[in-house]
Structure formats: structure tokens, C-alpha cells
Structure 1
Amino acid sequence: MRKTNRYPVEQANSLWQIYKTVPFWKVVKNFIVIQLGRYTPFLNVKNWLYRTFLRMKVGEKTAFALMVMPDTMFPEKITVGSNSVIGYNSTILAHEYLIKEYRLGDVVIGNDVMIGANTTILPGVTIGDGAVISSATLVNRDVPSGSFVGGNPMQVIYTKEEIAKRMEEDRE
């Protein structure tokens, strides 16, 4: 189950009320910084932009590939550990605007995590250390440490223990 906080709205759907939930100028600033980051080929500059201007928590030697899209409204709710790779054109969401409510949730990505290209991570998800996410996966719930997951909806393909067993068998 994802860990999100729900905020009911009245009248029109929650997206029509966006600037009651997040300041307009914050969104403008975040959008500009994210667009710079999406195209910047220098990983250390990208991480500096995200830490400094978006208040994201980004670990050392983490690599955001070209065109990664962090949450525009609430990037400060994203934490990425050290030595992780976020694949090309992936999206990390910390919000959901729905008809009768909007939801916010922290996204925590551990250390040494590999996220394949075109993956979408929904709000309120924790991805454990050493996890591997296959390309084009919809991460709609927590990912156990060391596991290999993929698909839409996401499924565990191999657990940490199954991977260790396979590696042991390969050595024999």
C-alpha cells in the first residue's frame, strides 16, 4: 500500500484548484529548473540543481539520465540514495490530482538502485536498497530491498534471496 495523505476538495476537480495547493511561482521555478536538469549532460550539475533549487535529497554519485522528470509541484518530497541510476525518461511523482481529492506522498529511493528507462514511480512509494526496476515499469507499491521488479502493474520477478541463489548456482 502506498503511503499518501489525502486532501478532499469541493466543487471542481482538484487540478482546477492546483494553485490553492501549491504556489504558482514555486511551480514556475521548479519547471524551469527541471527542464534545465532534464537536458543537462553533467550529472554533478544536475544533482546540484535538484538539491539547491528543488530541495530534493540526492545522494552522492546518483545519476539522473537524460529526460528524467521529477515531480514539478512537490520535488522536496523525493529522496534518492547514493550510487543509484534513474533511467532515461522516467517520471517520479509525489502528487496525484484526482476528481474529489488530491494526494501527496514521499518517494524514497534507496542506495544502489537501478531504475530502467520510461519507468513511472507513483507517490508514497519506497524502493529498497539494491533493487532493480525493469524498464517501462509502473511502480505502484513498495519495492523490497535487493529485488528485481517489472511490469504494469509492477510484479516481483525475483526476490533478493532468489537472485542470490541464482548467482550461487552460476558460480558452481
Structure 2
Amino acid sequence: MERYRQGFARHNGYLITPTGTYGTDHRLRAVVTQVGLGALQPEQAMYPLALLDRAGQPLTGARRYVVRIPAGALPPLTATGFWSLTLYDGDGFVVPNEIDRYAINDRTDLHRNPDGSIELYLQATRPTDPNQARNWLPTPTGGFRLLWRMYGTLPAAIPGILDGTGWQVPAILPAAAG
């Protein structure tokens, strides 16, 4: 896990770096290639990666998590942009699961709370609440990682995403017991 952390800024529990143009930073090029073969430049796409929850603990299916997206706080994208949140096991493969869901994206029919916010549920077992099950991204029982893909990021938002002064990727929080 430590091999991924070097050279990345850390914001809200995610590792973020400009990709696509590396110059002589061969280490960063190799890490980006290992995490996901190739990567576009920030003007085209951004890829926040989470290996840890907001508290700094490794992500594991032994715990349940919630990702709260406040109303109006989805990624800042152009009119043609789109986003996805994909879950991978520790080896970088999607996780087989009972609902064949490997990602949640801007086209997923998600339940919204009355205030317009969205809560995504990351856990190994199906939530019993139907609204939570609708927003469920199944995890393996062991370790995993999450990768946001944001295509068509608004150019003015890119610097703030990269340095942590602007839009923040929603934190991965341990879910309340219950």
C-alpha cells in the first residue's frame, strides 16, 4: 500500500495527483500504470484513489462504510462530463458479488435523501434497508480500494481538487453500528 502513497497529495482520505504527463518522474508513471493502465491528463480526467478510510484505517470488508455526498456536491464536471466510483480488491480486480455491481456512476439510479444528499453504502453484506440496498456497492470480505473516475472536470476546478483547496472527494466513513 505504501508504494502508492509516495508522490500523491492526500485529501479527505484520497490520493490525488495530476496524471498523463510525467516528464522524468518515472516512479509516478510506474505507479499510475500499476494502479490503472494509462491515465489521461487532468484536463480530461481525474482519478482520486482511496486505500484508507477518513480515519486512516485500511479499507476492509470486515467493516461497513458510508460515503456521504451533500446535495449539490457531486464532482464539478462539464456538461459532457461523467463520473464513476469503482471498487477493486487488493490485487486490482473487480469483486464478484450477488448483484453484479462493480461501480456506481452518474447513471446509477440512486436513492436521494429528502435534502438531496446521497449516501453510498460500502459493505460485504446487502443492507436490509431498501434505500441503502439501492445505493450499495458490495465489498469483498478482505481489503479493497476505491477509484473515482471523473471525466470532463471543469477546468477552473482542477487546481482546487489537486491541492485540496476546492472540491473534495467525499470521505469514506465507518458506518454506524446497526
* TM-score, normalization by structure 1: 0.28
Larger RCO, structure (CA 8 Å, separation 6 or more): 2
In terms of fraction of residues, the more strand-rich structure is: 2
Give 1 or 2: higher helix fraction.
1
TM-score by length of 2: 0.27
- Structure 1 or 2, whichever has the larger Rg, is 1
